[in-house]
């Protein structure tokens, strides 16, 4: 029947051509495409079409072309045309290829340009349609856009992605004084805080040296309180101190300057500060100080409002 436009067999296809490199004394050559027999190709030697068939100029089967006589490199030329292999010479019209023409998993990462995925073209089901993952392994991959490389798509393992993000506030500990401990007048006395509330990394010694030696380097928030008690209104000074590596590093105090002495029988001094610790040899200890004219006590036990305590935790940097 009649139709408009060029006849497809005349205008939109051509036959593929293969040019051979002549090798002296060689009669077997490799075709770039497999054929059923020699009738599927037209062989031209020195611009002369050769006759196919057994006992003729050549035979062919699969990808093997066999000549009846060898040619001479530099003198002879040979090429073939694949008569059964038509090759399209025009592109498909724009917008004519849809998902139905593309096989599943046929498009790999090499065929996706780094900047080809944009908000207006990315189908949300490409993400929402996937199986939800509830547990992420360290070597699972995350796809991201690298702004330092003009938005190029890069992959990163989950372990690298979360490296440096968040962190644990450990080592950490908290301890209280289980019973009253004597404080010598006008003398800094180490407080033997012996009852651990918690000790995440076993960095606090609550039985021998009563010191905190964190095993991870970093900044630590340290808090402490020495609750001191006097039988009468004669205690003028009460101080809480933190010693680092055996030397005073900070303190707080309560002071009553009345010449007749303080009016309170109990004093509590809360102290807090951030310390840099090297994670190996640095250690912290709690000390107390009173000025009362005689020895008094650092108060222990379960008194919530006056308890002597010592604690610290690592700050996430």
Residues 6+ positions from 186 with CB-CB distance below 8 Å: 289, 290, 291
pLDDT at 36: 87
Return the higher-pLDDT residue of 76 and 137: 76
Confidence tier at 1 by pLDDT (50, 70, 90): low
Mean pLDDT on 94-123: 63
Measured CA to CA, the distance from residue 139 to residue 161 in angstroms comes to: 10
Q: How far is CA 283 from CA 103, 210, 286, in A?
A: 66, 10, 11
Average of per-residue pLDDT across 163-170: 74
At residue 91, the pLDDT reads: 66
Among 121-125, 221-225, 294-298, the range scoring the smallest mean pLDDT is 121-125
pLDDT one-digit tens code per residue, 43-97: 999 999 999 999 999 999 999 999 999 999 999 999 999 987 655 556 677 777 7
DSSP readout, 185-215? Answer: BTS-EE----EEEEETTS-B-SSSS-EE--S
| pLDDT category of residue 298 using cuts at 50, 70 and 90 | confident
> Token digits for 78?
């040979």
Q: Which of 286, 284, 186 is nearest to 227 (CA)?
A: 286
pLDDT at 245 > cutoff 70: yes
pLDDT, tens only, 211-244: 999 999 999 999 999 887 665 556 667 889 999 9
Where does residue 180 rank: exposed (0-12), middle (13-18), buried (19+ CB within 10 A)? middle
pLDDT of residue 133: 77
Which helix (H) or strand (E) is 84 found in, with range?
strand 78-88
pLDDT confidence of residue 120? 47
CA distance linking residue 120 with residue 13, whole number of Å: 37
At residue 245, what are phi and psi to the nearest 5 degrees?
Answer: 55, 35
Residue 259 predicted with pLDDT over 50: no
97 upstream amide cis, omega within 30 of 0? no
State how far the Cα of 54 lies from the Cα of 57, in Å rounded to an integer.
8
Delineate the domains of the chain, giving CATH numbers in brackets: 12-88 (no CATH), 137-165 (no CATH), 172-314 (2.60.120.40)
Tokens of 314: 């690592």
| pLDDT score of 121 more than 80 | no
Torsion angle (degrees, nearest 10) of CA 204, 206, 207, 208: 50
Helix (H, G, I), strand (E, B) or coil at 52: strand
The structure's pTM equals 0.51
Count helices and strands (H / E) in the chain. 3, 20
């Amino acid at each position: 029947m009649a139709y408009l436009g060029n006849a497809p067999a005349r205008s939109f296809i051509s036959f593929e051509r293969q040019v051979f490199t002549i090798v002296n004394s060689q009669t077997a050559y490799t075709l770039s495409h497999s054929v059923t027999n020699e009738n599927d190709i037209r062989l031209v030697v020195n611009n002369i079409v050769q006759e196919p068939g057994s006992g003729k100029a050549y035979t062919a089967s699969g990808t093997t072309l066999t000549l009846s006589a060898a040619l001479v490199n530099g003198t002879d030329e040979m090429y073939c045309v694949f008569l059964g292999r038509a090759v399209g010479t025009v592109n498909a019209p724009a917008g004519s290829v849809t998902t139905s023409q593309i096989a599943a998993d046929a498009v790999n990462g090499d065929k996706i340009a780094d900047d080809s995925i944009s908000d207006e073209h990315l189908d949300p089901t490409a993400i929402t349609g996937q199986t939800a993952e509830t547990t992420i392994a360290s070597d699972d991959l995350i796809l991201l856009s690298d702004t330092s490389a003009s938005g190029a798509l890069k992959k990163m393992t989950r372990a690298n992605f979360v490296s440096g993000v968040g962190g644990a506030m450990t080592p950490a500990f908290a301890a209280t004084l289980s019973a009253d401990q004597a404080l010598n007048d006008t003398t800094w006395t180490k407080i033997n805080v012996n009852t651990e509330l918690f000790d995440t990394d076993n960095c606090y010694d609550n039985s021998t040296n009563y010191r905190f030696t964190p095993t991870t380097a970093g900044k630590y928030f340290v808090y402490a309180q020495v609750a001191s008690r006097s039988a009468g209104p004669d205690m003028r000074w009460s101080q809480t101190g933190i010693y680092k590596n055996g030397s005073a590093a900070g303190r707080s105090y309560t002071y009553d300057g009345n010449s007749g002495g303080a009016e309170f029988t109990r004093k509590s001094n809360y102290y807090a500060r951030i310390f840099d610790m090297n994670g190996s040899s640095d250690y912290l200890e709690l000390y107390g100080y009173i000025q009362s004219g005689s020895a008094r006590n650092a108060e222990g036990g379960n008194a919530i409002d006056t308890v002597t305590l010592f604690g610290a935790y690592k700050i996430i940097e």
